[in-house]
Structure 1
Amino acid sequence: MSDSFEVIVIGSGPAGYVCAIRCAQLGLKTAVIEQNVGSNDQPQLGGTCLNVGCIPSKALLDSSHRYAEAAGHLSDHGIGISDVTLDIASMMARKEKIVSQLTGGVSGLLKANGITVITGTATLNAGRQVAVASADGSSQTYTADHVVLAAGSEPAAIPPAPVNGDRVVDSTGALCFEAVPQRLGVIGAGVIGLELGSVWARLGAEVVMLEAMDQFLPNMDEQIAAESGKIFAKQGLDIRLGARVTGVSVSDDGVDVTYSQGDASETERFDRLIVAVGRSPRTTGLFSADSGVTVDERGFIFVNDYCATEAPGVWAVGDIVRGPMLAHKGSEEGVMVAERIHGKSAQLNYDVIPSIIYTHPEVAAVGKTEQELKAEGVDYKAGTFPFAAIGRALASGETEGMVKILSDADSDQILGAHVVGPSAADLVQQIVIAIEMAASTEDLQLMVFGHPTMSEAVHEAALAVDGRAIHMVNRPKR
């Protein structure tokens, strides 16, 4: 095996493997270094997303939704099902099969593109020298013209609630329960907590979510966050805001969680506890002090707008740099870096990155929130439209939620969109395209949307911006 490459990518998650493939497509001699090894003694490609994040969680979200539908939500359709059973082992086996299929696909893509895969723990040293330590204790050093750091992230921890892998688990452990806990506690009511809490609530657990923030989903548009909170409460999620966990005591028969809420101190007992307080960049040990790479106080690597670090020829992408920890953001950063290495003038529009919560219904957003526009003093227009007035939503029995579109009051250019409701993840992508193309709400108003479709809510929300929604009584604009 050669020890010299044009590009070495450290990490094989969505940011790393996509970067490597694009580098190879551009004719660059490329290697990927992955430290994790699977049960088959082969590199565990795909990173957090494919192995213990996006993909397995979506598999369980889908399975749990189907179970909930079969167990009690089909009678309105004239479908009666008795004695619905739950086989957690089969559900988990399906999840693992999906993960295996996708990680195997990544392996095949790397091989087909002529990319060298190296197994071991990598450390970047001065002069773009990469030392790789293998599990057997051996080590080897590789050199490259360019090194791309894409080591990803890991579940964040909090001192009052140490994870023990049994009663107290992180997001990875929450994907592997062998039985449905009767009473489940979740620390954190953000994206990860809501998705995992939803899975186990649908399967029958009583779920209590302890969120330290006083505001629910503070980064979301306030109107959409409030609507989402109402929907989740109806589904049985007990979300307690301003609940700061101060201690956790584990015994043979449960977990006692003590938290403060205002001036009061409360204790709740759970069968299992999920710690879902976000993720931290995996940068410890990734580079030496003489590498030229620097980090901020939280461990994120300093990069410029094009993901170049302060060390010449060294780049960093994905969860280890500033911005949202999203697989699609990391992947596009990887593409941008590959093309800049090849001499192209690629750049990424960080203002148009969609964010999604894969609950049911989904919550999705892109661009500015209404509170951000107010804070920035932007004169704007807003239009909302409920799914309850959409024929396809009514026919499907999925009428909760709304679409909200924000645009500039003078130019009419779309500034943001926020959705809670059926197919929100897919609907918001229509607005991603619109914002990227500098479209106005009038552009959306003049388009023909298929009928009956969920996407008509986007059309009607665009019309509502100017008080022109067809299937809703329009209130006079102030």
Structure 2
Amino acid sequence: MTHFDVLVIGTGSGNSIINHRFDGLRVAIAEEDRFGGTCLNAGCIPTKMYVYPATRAEEAADSSAVNLSTSYGSADWPALRDRIFARIDAIEADGRAYRTERQENVTVFPEHVRFTGPHSLVTASGREITADRIVIAAGSAPVVPEIPGLDPARVDAPDSPFHTSRTIMRLDSQPESVLILGSGFISAEFGHIFSGLGTRTVVAIRGDRMLPGADAAIRDRFTAEFSARHDVRPGVEAASVRVLDDGRVEVAFRATGRVPGAEVPAPLVVERVLFATGRAPASAGLSPQAAGIDTRADGRIAVDEYLRVLADGAPVPGVFALGDISSPHQLKHVANHEARVVKANLVADLDAGAPGGAPASALTPVNHKGVPAAVFSSPQVAHVGMTEEEARAAGHDVVVGTRDYGGVAYGWAMEDTTGFVKVVADRSSRLLLGAHLMGPEASMIIQPLIQAIAFDQPADEVAKGQYWIHPALPEVVENALLDLDLR
């Protein structure tokens, strides 16, 4: 049995915790997959590197709205893929080499680990390890639905037509056709990527609208616009799959019952099937029950406000968790924030001496106020804070402001007819409660609204207390704030 002062499970945001402060300690890192986590290797970064050319391709395919005659031919998929992953794989390799070759006090276990007790684990190869302090940052994994005819072992396997985001971007050639199952942000982004680049793309959704959990106005308008640009089949799910002799997949459908009168498509034959049906915390494989660790109903590791892991409702001395495995927000920027919190609290715990010795007064609480997110699809979506429905349910005196992109000069320049900004505020406090945007560069122009929520800036002061560059696109944000009736 090998003992360490600190063990970090996972090399996404958790990998950023170990710095010079830990040079005098025996540190272990367990990573069974690629260094860098989902964001670097199969999530945020490579998808956006595909989204950008897909958006350029979509614009080139039809620029008649701005009096241009342009067209889109095809993508050099192998070159596109290699440009993206040459950069990403180099970062992954350098991160691994740094920990394994250039840090004498760090031991890397390139394999799966699971708990055998609160401070003890065993690796997949049978090696037993213990640690005084542990950071659980193992992230999440794609959810694959149970479908008759589908062997789960074939999903993401070499030469398989069944994929999650882990493998769909590393294909040797651009698929001629893709079926995407799911209605969330992963489905929306990959639907845009493949359709924009010229792949025949079908998106099957179980309900009547895309983007579950978004504000109702966003769901309605995004679904309408996305469906106008993409082949969306609402109210259905895969009833069975069958791999044909030529390697393609025949998919049969059935109604979910969630959309009255939903049209059930005839069986569809596609080259690839992408499961974009959500992600689940990768907690079960860690055997948290062997350590007595509490888990939430959805499988997340239970933590307190200081991100200390809980057992029977009390903190486990010296054990912390962060990111998708414990957080209510599956977002990289949230995981990065939580990593900073865990680092501060881990250092405080080390300074206290015995694991768990740091008093609450020495610890930093997590801050999940005003968590923003964006969907890099076509159209683009961004949001922060409460939906209108949530604000009303919480008892706020709700006031709403809405403005279309087409109502400002830059929107005229783009000939945009669908983009809009919706802001939700409390009339009595004048504070912004939420913001919901759809349209070009939504993820960028939302930033002043994120700041307003983060720092409790009254909505009318944000609108009137600063200059807004004319005729830049953020004027639509200004006008939405001015539309709020805060009298």
Q: Decide whether the 8 Å contact of 2:421 with 2:436 is kept in 1.
A: yes
Q: Decide whether the 8 Å contact of 1:184 with 1:270 is kept in 2.
A: no
CA distance 1:17–1:390, shift in 2 (3 Å): farther
Q: Secondary structure at the match of 2:267?
A: strand
**Cα distance between partner residues in 2 of 1:414 and 1:157:** 38
Counterpart residue number, 2:168: 174
**Cα distance between partner residues in 2 of 1:277 and 1:175:** 17
Counterpart residue number, 1:462: 481
**Cα distance between partner residues in 1 of 2:219 and 2:44:** 22
CA distance 1:370–1:20, shift in 2 (3 Å): same
Structural mapping, 1:9-88, within 5 Å: 9-14=8-13, 16-21=14-19, 24=20, 29=25, 31=27, 33-36=29-32, 44-73=34-63, 76=66, 78=68, 80=70, 84-88=73-77
1:29-81 Cα deviation digits (max 9, x unpaired): 473524336xxxxxx31011101111111111112222333344379464656
Counterpart residue number, 1:128: 119
Q: Secondary structure at the match of 2:179?
A: strand
CA distance 1:28–1:147, shift in 2 (3 Å): farther
**Cα distance between partner residues in 2 of 1:368 and 1:289:** 34
1:238-288 Cα deviation digits (max 9, x unpaired): 223321332222213432222222477543313122111001211233246
Counterpart residue number, 1:40: none
List gaps (5 residues or longer) in structure 1.
38-43, 468-476
Could you tell which deviates more after superposition, 69-78 or 95-104? 69-78
1:396-452 Cα deviation digits (max 9, x unpaired): 455531111111011111100011111111222221111010111112122211222
**Cα distance between partner residues in 2 of 1:355 and 1:445:** 22
Counterpart residue number, 2:367: 349
Counterpart residue number, 1:423: 441
Q: Secondary structure at the match of 1:309?
A: strand
Could you tell which deviates more after superposition, 347-356 or 107-116? 107-116
Partner of residue 370 from structure 1, selected from 369, 388, 391:
388
How much has 1:90 moved relative to structure 2?
0.5
Paired letter, 1:139: R
Paired letter, 1:242: G
Q: Decide whether the 8 Å contact of 1:174 with 1:196 is kept in 2.
A: no
How much has 1:104 moved relative to structure 2?
5.1
Count residues with an aligned counterpart: 451
Q: Decide whether the 8 Å contact of 1:407 with 1:415 is kept in 2.
A: yes
**Cα distance between partner residues in 1 of 2:485 and 2:36:** 45
How much has 1:354 moved relative to structure 2?
0.7
2:126 counterpart of 1:143: no
Counterpart residue number, 1:275: 275
Counterpart residue number, 1:284: 284
How much has 1:200 moved relative to structure 2?
0.6
Q: Secondary structure at the match of 1:63?
A: helix
How much has 1:306 moved relative to structure 2?
2.4
**Cα distance between partner residues in 2 of 1:356 and 1:275:** 20
Paired letter, 2:424: L
Q: Decide whether the 8 Å contact of 1:11 with 1:32 is kept in 2.
A: no
Partner of residue 392 from structure 1, selected from 407, 410, 421:
410
How much has 1:141 moved relative to structure 2?
2.1
Q: Decide whether the 8 Å contact of 1:336 with 1:347 is kept in 2.
A: yes
**Cα distance between partner residues in 2 of 1:221 and 1:71:** 30
**Cα distance between partner residues in 2 of 1:77 and 1:107:** 50
Q: Secondary structure at the match of 1:383?
A: strand
CA distance 1:189–1:293, shift in 2 (3 Å): same
CA distance 1:217–1:205, shift in 2 (3 Å): same
Q: Secondary structure at the match of 1:48?
A: helix
Counterpart residue number, 2:351: none
2:404 counterpart of 1:410: no
1:114-152 Cα deviation digits (max 9, x unpaired): 87251333333435234445xxx47352423x2110111
Counterpart residue number, 1:448: 467
Q: Secondary structure at the match of 1:18?
A: helix
Could you tell which deviates more after superposition, 399-408 or 112-121? 112-121
Q: Decide whether the 8 Å contact of 2:369 with 2:454 is kept in 1.
A: no
Q: Decide whether the 8 Å contact of 1:256 with 1:267 is kept in 2.
A: no
**Cα distance between partner residues in 1 of 2:165 and 2:244:** 21
Q: Decide whether the 8 Å contact of 1:25 with 1:113 is kept in 2.
A: no
2:318 counterpart of 1:318: no
How much has 1:13 moved relative to structure 2?
0.8
Q: Decide whether the 8 Å contact of 1:445 with 1:459 is kept in 2.
A: yes
List gaps (5 residues or longer) in structure 2.
311-315, 349-361
Q: Decide whether the 8 Å contact of 1:67 with 1:202 is kept in 2.
A: yes
Paired letter, 2:29: I
2:215 counterpart of 1:224: no
- Aligned-pair Cα RMSD in Å: 2.9
**Cα distance between partner residues in 2 of 1:290 and 1:201:** 46
**Cα distance between partner residues in 1 of 2:26 and 2:378:** 41
Structural mapping, 1:191-206, within 5 Å: 191-206=185-200
Counterpart residue number, 2:355: none
